Structure 1
Amino acid sequence: MLTVRKPFLSSVLAAVVLLSSACGTQTASPAAGAGNGSKAGGEEKVLRVGTSGRSVPHSYKNEKQELDGFDVEAIKAIADKMGYKVDWVTADFSGLFGMLDANKIDTIANQVEISDQRKEKYLFSIPYVYSGGQLVVKKGNDSIKSLQDLKGKKIAVGLGTNKEKFLREFDNEKGVKMNIVTYEDPSGIVYDVANGRADAYIVDKASGLVKIEKSGLPLQFAGEPFEDYIIAYPFVKNAKNNELKDKFDKALEELQKDGTMSKLSMKFYKQDISKK
């Protein structure tokens, strides 16, 4: 701890007051305060991107504790095409949309599924991932083959995700009476299912294959995919974001055409999920 000795205290305070009056009041940095993907005053343009950093293989921390994954590399490539620098902001998935609404970030890179409800509020980029919803259970549990088999069972899901919304709507509509357990940190879901603390979880099939292989946990798919997932990047609806999204889409489309998105998909998923 730095200790200021009493004999020097008055002189230190005087210096601080003098410096403050000379320099004026300090404001938030342009990266934090300037919205819609740019800095003020003609400085380097910044794309502020929110992600959880907790979900293999699209957004996670590698052995160097750096953000890595399919979404991370895709955003870097898109921003590079646009001539933007990426400013990453990490948070639980349940908090990312609040940050987007509050203009603390420009978009979310965390496998965000397009839904009719979300389209009412957000602009979406062109899709960049196509996959399917898949049930996962503990290895050897052959009693669950479909969502209907979850009556009285614990199904784990990330808090605030489209998967949670889907499960609640399905349960209300079909009267299955499943026990939906939500997690602020979804990284613990696989361990709870593998250890029998929950009966199942749902995941996009492509990510699920990678997660099961990498974790080494006793898990298996249950039944066939039950829903199509179309993934894109969301932006708050406003005039400035219309322009930003157009630039973003142009860059993403170029990366799809030149094969970059396919290569990234093969790198992280061992299959090309960047196309229908």
Structure 2
Amino acid sequence: MEKIIKPMSGYLTLILTLVFLAVSIALFVNSQGNGWMITIGVILTLSAFFLSAGLIVISPNHSRVLTFFGKYVGTAKENGLLFVNPLYTKQKISLRAENLESSRLKVNDSMGNPIEIAAVIVWRVADTYKAAFEVEDYEQYVKVQSEAAIRHLATSFPYDQFEDEHATITLRGGGEKVNELLEKELSDRLAPAGIQIIEARISHLAYAQEIAGAMLQRQQATAIVAARTKIVEGAVGMVELALEQLSKKEIVHLDEEKKAAMVSNLMVVLCAEKAATPILNTGTLYQ
């Protein structure tokens, strides 16, 4: 478990180190073969180097994980020049938010269709103890587990409702819900490494190249059928309204044969892709 410590300021130690070095240099210069002065100079020099080993500089959103002969002492997050036990082992861990853009992964969705998917993930270290000691390399761990989470998400849902009409969530139409599921999956997988997921979003989603053309034709055909269905529904309504108004206002009396011909002509005009070219009958309806 992470333990925050507050080391003492390092400015006094820095000044003391510089003083030791200055005095040792003066002793070496003025020793003139005096063994005691040389010995004191060596001791002061070694003391200066020993004290300097305990000086650390921590920038904003950075930390140092401190261990003493393999035992975890704590994590220093206070900024500035600080002094710790020179015998401590110091591991630098950044607390800044980082971006990870996954490569385009080729996987099968829940219906078995090959798709390409990628995501952008924003993450940061929240627990330095877990990041330092629970996993071997937390940055590599984030990369590998992120790809595993994206693959699992892709195989859990269909690409769109063309494949599964009863699907409540699809990769293409899921929107924020899919992103929320990805964030939860990532948080669960990266929790052992002390990683916090700030945001995760699908950045690329498409059918694989080998089926992209066929799927595009299928989508176009479905769109055409849906459009034609709406056109026919509208045309039937218009024909029905026309016959009803002609009968109600007694503009013209048509027998069943002429009604059928009129319905046929109106349907052709209303459902045709191009504008119809009318042919005028200058005689009677029965000529």
TM over 0.5: no
Higher Cα Rg: structure 1 or 2? 2
Bigger fraction of residues in helix:
2
* TM-score band w.r.t. shorter chain: under 0.3
Query: Larger relative CO (CA 8 A, sep 6+): 1 or 2?
Result: 1
Question: Could you tell me the TM-score, scaled by structure 2's length?
Answer: 0.19
Question: Could you tell me the TM-score, scaled by structure 1's length?
Answer: 0.19
